[in-house]
Amino acid sequence: MNRAALADFLRRRREALRPADVGLVPGPRRRAPGLRREEVAALTGMSVDYYARLEQQRGPQPSEQMLAALSRALRLTVEERDYLFRLAGHGVPRRTPLDSHVAPALLRVLDRLEESPALILSGLGEMLVQNRQAEAIFGVPPATGLGRSSAYRWFMDPASRDVYPPEDHERHGRSQVASLRAAHSAAGPGSVADEILRVLLRESPEFVRVWELHEVSRRFEDHKTLVHPELGRIDVACQALFTEDQSQALVVLTPEPGSEAEEKIRLLAVLGHETFA
């Protein structure tokens, strides 16, 4: 672990970012244009003291999970992320077609979306990051394990389907399988996609039936009907922005202007997970 270089790299990357670059409001009494230490700590979910010690060359060796969070918070490129891991004394994460390191370009767009639910998904349907409105609708998926994949949850956890009306379940199930086939084709044997496929083929007769249709796709429906437990049905248009290699997608859900759905989305932005009673 190269403490001096790690501290200098973190400080310089922090100082190079403006609050607006990560979706924060600058606020008053800001003497320097860069992010404050407490802002980086909040973005990564670590304590301010822990992050400060890293910049002061006296912190413990950060875990790979913490380094991944720092890479995301500081909007590092893949090359910068790999460099950070080396400085911290860890091996470089394996680069695969399903790399979960969030593309900085997609994060910059997400940071500027305040009025609509938006989330960034990997090729396996893993939720990499989402805004407040999206979290209020979709909840927080598992952080580890095969359950990170939406295809795995769809067939192994029936409750995951509650966000869509029953009449749309067949269509969404086929879409999940078609996306998994595309991801498996890109990642190949021995990948997480391959592990998910083997489990679903063994455990879910419904999955086997849909898999045999041999559909493959990596796109999102133009229109979705979502179901919130208290607000009911919310009709939205669905737009997806893909990275150049198609490995990640920023999905934005927008209601019709002036519609009842727009009012419900506005309530989600204000209240989040609070009850609506």
Higher pLDDT, 166 or 271: 166
Q: Is residue 99 part of a domain?
A: no
Look at the alpha carbons of 251, 256, 258, 264 in this order and tell me if their dihedral is positive or negative: negative
Question: Where residue 261 sits, what CATH number does that domain have?
Answer: 3.30.450.180
Residue written as token pair 């759905």: 261
pLDDT tens profile 233-263: 999 999 988 887 778 889 999 999 899 999 9
| pLDDT at residue number 276 | 45
Could you report the per-residue pLDDT of 141-167, keeping only the tens digit for each?
887 889 999 999 999 999 999 999 999
- Residue 97's pLDDT is what? 63
- Give yes or no for residue 27 having a pLDDT over 70: no
Would the pLDDT of 86 be above 50? yes
Mean pLDDT calculated for residue range 36-65:
89
In a domain, 220, yes or no: yes
Span 39-55, average pLDDT: 90
Structure tokens belonging to residue 168: 């749309």
Q: Is 134 in the same domain as 259?
A: yes
3-state secondary structure of 58: coil
| One domain for residues 198 and 77 | no
> Is the pLDDT confidence value at 192 over 60?
yes
What are the strands of the beta sheet with 127-130, ordered from one edge? Answer: 127-130, 118-122, 248-254, 232-242, 223-228
Domain count, the chain: 2
Asked whether residue 79 is assigned to any structural domain, the reply reads yes
Q: Percentage of the chain surpassing pLDDT 70?
A: 95
Check residue 272 and give its pLDDT. 59
Mean pLDDT of all residues in the chain?
87
* Domain of residue 118, residue span: 104-271
Span 165-181, average pLDDT: 93
245, part of any domain: yes
